[in-house]
Structure 1
Amino acid sequence: MAYDVLVIGSGPGGYSAAIRAGQYGLKTALIEKDPYLGGTCLHVGCIPTKALLHTAEVWDYFRNPAAQGIACDNPRLDYPKVLERKSKIVSTHAKGIEFLMKKNKVEVIRGYGRLLGRGRVEVLSGNESRTLEAKNIILATGSEARMLPGLAPDQKTIVTNVEILARTEIPKSLLVIGAGAVGVEFASIFKRFGADVTIFEMLPRLVPVEDEEVSKELERQFKKQGIACETGARVQNVERTENGARIEV
């Protein structure tokens, strides 16, 4: 089957490109290997973390309501409800993307897209395979968590953004390795939720790609919140223990 445009990947780049192609009247298909549209950003990235950040900020006020002029006795964080709210937000956005695909006549194809060559894409779905042809192919396959030597995720002690967002309990203590945008978000979220948080960054400052003034202010705020910040810290060894892991830097 021939298309004007084939898009592989349904994250923000992919679905936006597919919508615009559809708006121009081009015969367009969007290939996605996961059962949902929206990619990492919507499901295990930007959107769920911002939902948790907002709840964490609200909870921070309720931990000391009197300082805000609020009379509230014994407030309690219901973490399963927090996760439920996060999931509802994600689901609403995902349904919105599905609606936009239909509205703009973009065909959604479920499966793993593989570029065969100029104008040809193989789509694998289960044990089935088919080849599609297109005048234009857009690769919007996104990214994945960087794996560090000796720190392969085990789904229990060492986790990525995917696993930590799926956990139903707040960890008692958390070491965040990497102080980029993702790392500092999780450090802020779980510290406010009550975890003992330390953040490591191998470069000389937090959020090293930002202006130095931003890094200094963020580190000041983190230390004020009780987040231990270790810069210039490179992980040398990880020893798994009965209750977690021991890190050597």
Structure 2
Amino acid sequence: MTDFDMLVIGSGPGGQKAAIAAAKLGRRVAVVDRKEMVGGVSLHTGTVPSKTLREAVLYLTGLTQRDLYGQSYRLKEEITVADLTARTQHVVGREVDVVRNQLSRNRVAMFPGTGRFV
């Protein structure tokens, strides 16, 4: 077991910023979070997936390109739930990688698990 100056519970936006700020001040920092939730709720079930779905629909239907290419422009004739799910999973996966890389670059240790105050 390693000694840490600070243990952050959760790697959501607040936890991520707190951990990196402490690490930049020279503290030894660790983050505890469930393996499947790195980046927090906003990254997995909140803001990022909902905005990604919205943008995917706009892109795949061609609505954002019609001013340039004309009213009949459409990137894909049939948009399926699988198309939207694949795009959302891709974006969330990339964002998880960004969070992991930021923590790693700042020498913040990540531990899978859950934490609570007793």
- The aligned amino acid for 2:40 is G
Structure 1 residue 72, shift from structure 2 partner: 4.5
Structure 1 residue 49, shift from structure 2 partner: 0.5
1:7 maps to 8
Structure 1 residue 25, shift from structure 2 partner: 1.1
Which structure 2 residues correspond to residues 157-176 of structure 1 after superposition, within 5 A?
A: none
1:193 maps to none
The gaps in structure 2 that reach 5 residues or longer are none
* Secondary structure of the structure 2 residue equivalent to 1:7: strand
Which structure 2 residues correspond to residues 84-233 of structure 1 after superposition, within 5 A?
A: 84-116=86-118
TM-score (norm 2): 0.82
- Superposition CA RMSD, Å: 2.4
> How many Å separate the matches in 2 of 1:32 and 1:5?
14
Higher RCO by CA contacts (8 Å cutoff, separation 6 or greater): 2
Structure number having the greater helix percentage:
2
> How many Å separate the matches in 1 of 2:20 and 2:50?
25
TM-score (norm 1): 0.41
Structure 1 residue 100, shift from structure 2 partner: 1.1
> How many Å separate the matches in 1 of 2:72 and 2:54?
23
> How many Å separate the matches in 2 of 1:10 and 1:82?
26
* Secondary structure of the structure 1 residue equivalent to 2:5: strand
* Secondary structure of the structure 2 residue equivalent to 1:3: coil
Q: Which runs of 4+ in 1 moved over 4 A?
A: none
Q: 1:79 aligns with which of 75, 78, 81?
A: 81
Contact preservation (8 Å) 1:101, 1:107: yes
Aligned residues: 113
1:32 maps to 33
Structure number having the greater strand percentage:
1
> How many Å separate the matches in 1 of 2:47 and 2:73?
31
* Secondary structure of the structure 2 residue equivalent to 1:61: coil
Taking only the aligned residue pairs, the percentage that are identical comes to 29
